[in-house]
């Protein structure tokens, strides 16, 4: 009988080891807190497709937008820690006002186990042609002369597009009319095209069609330096020194996911995001991949949380 008691934990440990060795033996779901058609969604689907090819198993991208990311975060955290449900949260899920949404901001490694880094996507500033603005300096000058009149579309209060708009107002000394949208950039960019809204701040994938068709005009990108894919597009920093606003996504798993699975997914993700063909494909959509270990991803997220803290305090002071 004593021997049987010893066999129980050994059997459980052996089973976990076997599952990790065979992983994945069925389809894997990656949850997104972003809307379909958004820049993070586009990046997730490209990466999910490459992981599917690598694993020989379907990798499903599932969108759970809303409540500033707290819905997706809760669903992901409550999922079984077996590696078959992963989560790809964006910057604003980690960078949010405490109490603004349930269970946010999330913290690593407290709330999830880090796997690695997926991609980063700088914010683009795109204006409606009817405003007649050629560059960011024109926009700032018009906004200074007409406080609270130039409307700016953002895809959700507390999301990076909103944080970038608040940072722009503070650094440029202007007052904009912030117009929040839900459900991704499709409705927002439609209103910019029609002239109902003056401009939008958004990742490139969400506005690419309108920019390429000439329906709207990109006047600046909030990357640290000009992008090779958009060499003629000035950075915001060329007008407002030191300004940058770049979104990003990391891949995480529920707490308790076996270390062997974390290590395998991390290694496979690294192979995917460093593949030259994928990097080129993602770059044409205004997103840029780079590899990070789980430890590097944690350090990166924590540094970004410190970097955006002053902007969160700025928003909190405005609402109080």
Q: What pLDDT score was predicted for residue 72?
A: 94
| Distance, CA of 202 to CA of 159 (rounded, Å) | 10
Q: What is the mean pLDDT of residues 121-132?
A: 95
Count of CB atoms within 10 A of residue 190's CB? 15
DSSP letters along 173-236, please?
Answer: T---EEEE--SSSHHHHHHHHHTSSSEEEE-GGGTHHHHHHTSSEEEEE-SSS--TTSTTSPBG
For 167-193, write each residue's pLDDT tens digit: 999 999 999 999 999 877 889 999 999
**What dihedral do alpha carbons 236, 238, 244, 250 form, nearest 10°?**
90
Report yes or no: 227 and 236 within 8 Å, Cβ to Cβ. no
| Distance, CA of 73 to CA of 20 (rounded, Å) | 24
For 290-314, write each residue's pLDDT tens digit: 999 999 999 999 999 999 999 999 8
For 93-114, write each residue's pLDDT tens digit: 999 877 777 788 999 999 999 9
Q: What pLDDT score was predicted for residue 68?
A: 81
Token readout for 95 is 């960078």
Percent of the chain clearing pLDDT 70 (strictly above): 92
Q: What is the mean pLDDT of residues 60-71?
A: 91
Q: Which domains does the chain have, with CATH numbers?
A: 26-121+247-308 (3.40.190.150), 124-238 (3.40.190.10)
| Distance, CA of 164 to CA of 167 (rounded, Å) | 5
For 237-263, write each residue's pLDDT tens digit: 999 999 999 999 999 999 999 999 999
* Closest to 204 in 3D by CA, of 195, 212, 196: 212
What CA–CA distances, in Å, run from 87 to 116, 169, 257? 11, 32, 12
- Helix, strand, coil distribution of the chain in percent, nearest 5: 45, 20, 35
């Amino acid at each position: 009988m004593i021997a049987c008691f010893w066999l129980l934990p050994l059997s459980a440990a052996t089973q976990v080891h076997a599952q990790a060795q065979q992983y994945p033996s069925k389809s894997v779901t990656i949850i997104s807190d972003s809307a379909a058609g958004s820049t993070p969604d586009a990046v997730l689907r490209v990466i999910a497709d490459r992981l599917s090819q690598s694993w020989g198993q379907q990798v499903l991208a599932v969108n759970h937008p809303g409540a500033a990311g707290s819905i997706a975060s809760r669903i992901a955290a409550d999922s079984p820690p077996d590696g078959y449900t992963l989560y790809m949260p964006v910057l604003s899920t980690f960078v949010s006002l405490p109490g603004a949404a349930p269970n946010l901001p999330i913290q690593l490694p407290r709330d999830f186990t880090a796997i690695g880094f997926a991609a980063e996507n700088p914010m683009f500033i795109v204006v409606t042609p009817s405003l007649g603005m050629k560059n960011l300096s024109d926009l700032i000058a018009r906004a200074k002369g007409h406080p609270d009149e130039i409307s700016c579309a953002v895809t959700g209060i507390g999301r990076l597009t909103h944080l970038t708009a608040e940072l722009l107002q503070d650094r440029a000394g202007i007052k904009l009319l912030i117009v929040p949208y839900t459900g991704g950039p499709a409705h927002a960019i439609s209103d910019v095209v029609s002239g109902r809204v003056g401009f939008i701040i958004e990742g490139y994938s969400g506005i690419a069609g309108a920019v390429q068709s000439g329906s709207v005009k990109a006047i600046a990108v909030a990357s640290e330096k000009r992008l090779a894919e958009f060499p003629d597009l000035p950075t915001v920093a060329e007008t407002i020194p030191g300004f940058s606003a770049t979104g990003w996504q990391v891949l995480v798993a529920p707490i308790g996911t076996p270390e062997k699975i974390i290590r395998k997914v991390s290694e496979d993700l690294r192979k995917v995001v460093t593949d030259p063909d994928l990097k080129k494909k993602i770059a044409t959509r205004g997103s840029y991949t780079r590899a990070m270990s789980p430890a590097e991803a944690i350090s990166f997220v924590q540094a970004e949380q410190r970097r955006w803290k002053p902007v969160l305090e700025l928003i909190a002071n405005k609402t109080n």
